[in-house]
Amino acid sequence: MKAAEILALKETALAEARAAGTSAQLEQVRIKYLGRKGCLPKIMEGLKEAPPAERPAMGRYANELKQELSELLETRRDALASATAATSGAAEVFDPTLPGRWRALGARHPISRVIEDAIRIFDTLGFSVADGPDIETEYHNFDALNTPEDHPARDTQDTFWLESGQLLRTQTSPVQIRVMESRPPPVRVIAAGRCYRRDTTDATHSANFHQIEGLYVNTRVSLADLKGDLTWFAQRLMGPEVKVRFRPHFFPFTEPSVEYDFSCHLCRGKGCRMCKQSGWIEISGAGMVNPKVFAKVGYDPEAVTGYAFGLGVERLAMIRYGLDDIRLLYDNDKRFLEQLAQ
Ligand code: PHE
């Protein structure tokens, strides 16, 4: 091969590279000229037998072929790549049939909704909102509530203790103590918040749950007031036919004490899956404030009487929304929460 032929071959190669319309075609040009079995290795091979006078020119043209063709192939490859990107990008931008992008809207959690609704209903009876800490002293959670250290009632409320001797409150009842310590009677408050017990989680238990505490202290408060006010609340929350039933019970800080039930609003007391065929749904405990508790907070037990009640928030939420597993309220599964969203 003569030097002039190599020069001509270079021009052909460059022209072919310019004409290639796809990266596959570019690759074919590369293989044809620069590949291991392509033209260039053959030219280099031929150099050895070429007449010495021709060799320098042949070598130079062969190098030019390699250099210029490689550069051109690279530029063409980049150009083709960005052209493809631009075309497919354009298709996306101009598709007017795609649906818009929706931003998911948040909603109040069922637990928060029950708490807010309860606060609103008790507000109509003149109750104001009180608050207390989740980390309580042993005194407020137990002793002041007439539950001394060796009292068996403590066993049912085992909880998480801190090294400081404080504990995660097992009930919202310590807020009763804090309120009465801080102001003279009469008081009419409700207090909602988290409570903690060393319970193993199952369909109806959670180590972390919520209660709403109610406390009304005045000169002539009676058990009839308690029943009347709880009935008013139950009917506002669940529906006008709901009845309230008291069953005798024991709490150290109320005397007498009751556990109370709402009649099942789903079957109207006839018996169904929700109320386990009994027609009644257990809500929580209540009673008349024990005079010993009044004495602890410095109220005169001869001058005042009062009632106190607890409401299990998860219970109310489960009944209201027909849930059979308390864990649904804590899993943060959006598919579940969206169904209840208001
Ligand atoms: N604190 C009690 C409990 O958690 C419920 C209760 C509240 C009972 C107020 C009486 C008065 O079981």
Atom of ligand 1 nearest to the CA of 310: 7
Burial 84-103 (b: 16+ CB within 10 A, else e): eeeeeeeeeeeeeeeeeeee
CB-CB contact of 132 with 191 (8 Å)? yes
287 lines ligand 1 (CB under 6 A): yes
Handedness of CA 202, 208, 210, 211 (dihedral sign): positive
Phi, psi torsion values for 212, nearest 5 degrees: -120, 125
Instruction: Among 147, 171, 180, 292, name the best residue to mutate to test ligand 1's pocket (greatest count of ligand atoms within 8 A of Cβ).
Output: 171
Q: 57 in helix, strand or coil?
A: helix
Atom of ligand 1 nearest to the CA of 170: 4
Output the tens digit of pLDDT for each of the chain's 342 residues: 788 888 888 889 888 988 888 888 888 999 999 898 888 888 888 888 888 888 888 888 888 889 988 898 898 888 888 777 766 665 556 778 888 888 878 889 999 999 999 999 999 999 999 999 999 999 999 999 999 999 988 888 888 999 999 999 999 999 999 999 999 999 999 999 999 999 888 888 899 999 999 999 999 999 999 999 999 999 999 999 999 999 999 999 999 999 999 999 888 889 888 888 999 999 999 999 999 999 999 999 999 999 999 999 999 999 888 888 899 999 988 888 888 876
Best CA proximity match to 312, nearest among 202, 228, 212:
212
285 lines ligand 1 (CB under 6 A): yes
Structure tokens, 128: 């104001």
- Cα–Cα separations (whole angstroms), residue 193 to 36, 219, 286: 78, 28, 17
Atom of ligand 1 nearest to the CA of 172: 1
- pLDDT at position 22 is 86
176 lines ligand 1 (CB under 6 A): no
Distance 87 CA to ligand 1 centre (A): 70
Residue nearest to atom 9 of ligand 1 (CA): 309
Distance (Å, whole) CA 134 – CA 168? 6
Distance 191 CA to ligand 1 centre (A): 12
Peptide bond into 186 cis (omega under 30): yes
Distance 40 CA to ligand 1 centre (A): 94
Best CA proximity match to 295, nearest among 188, 146, 132:
146
306 lines ligand 1 (CB under 6 A): no
> What digits encode the pLDDT tens for the residues 80-121?
887 777 666 655 567 788 888 888 788 899 999 999 999 999
> What digits encode the pLDDT tens for the residues 246-288?
999 999 999 999 999 999 988 888 988 888 899 999 999 999 9
Distance 133 CA to ligand 1 centre (A): 17
- Cα–Cα separations (whole angstroms), residue 329 to 107, 198, 311: 14, 19, 17
CB-CB contact of 289 with 305 (8 Å)? yes
- pLDDT at position 148 is 92
**pTM here?**
0.71
Atom of ligand 1 nearest to the CA of 284: 5
